Amino acid sequence: MWKSQTVSIVLPAYNEEQYIRPAVEDFFVDGVVDEVIVVDNNSRDRTAEEAAGTRARVVRETAQGYGHALRRGLREASFGLGARRRSTTIRVVFPAAVSGITAALILGISRAIGETMIVAIASTLTAAPESLSM
């Protein structure tokens, strides 16, 4: 607890067998951290087993990548604090995805405008008056 707030740490891990145990144990030294969530991101070594030997909660994420592991860890931390699926989506998942959603919207609108411009230019070139053609 820190200033009467619960503290959860999300620790994405991929092939960290040698370092995961000391890293997890270091978080609990000061007594501030209440929970460490280790997200095993398809490790090929014994990362999950080493993390399970500590006080950390181990969660497996099958989608490869740091971003997938972080999102899974944030979701698990939110559920662990008693949040429901809807509030987790609104307060955790959506804010983390806003930049990607915005980029997709801008890309989609830009593509629609660009394709419309090309069609407009192409249609004016093919509709030349007969007096200009030989």
As for how many domains the chain has, the answer is: 1
Is position 106 within any domain? no
Q: Tell me the pairing of strands 57-60 and 35-40.
A: parallel
12 in Cβ contact with 69 (< 8 Å): yes
Question: CA distances (Å), 60 to each of 1, 6, 67, 129, in order?
Answer: 26, 23, 14, 66
User: How does pLDDT run along the chain (134 residues), one tens digit per residue?
Assistant: 667 778 889 999 999 999 999 999 999 998 889 999 999 999 999 999 999 999 999 999 999 998 889 888 988 888 777 778 788 778 877 887 888 899 999 999 999 999 988 888 887 776 556 665 55
Structural domain boundaries enclosing 67:
8-82
Overall pTM surpassing 0.85 (yes/no):
no
Q: How far apart are CA 75 and CA 60, in angstroms?
A: 12
Residue 39 lies in a domain: yes
Residue 65 covered by a domain: yes
Query: Is residue 24 included in any domain, yes or no?
Result: yes
Give the residue carrying structure tokens 């200009």: 132
Note whether residue 128 is domain-resident: no
Residue 56 lies in a domain: yes
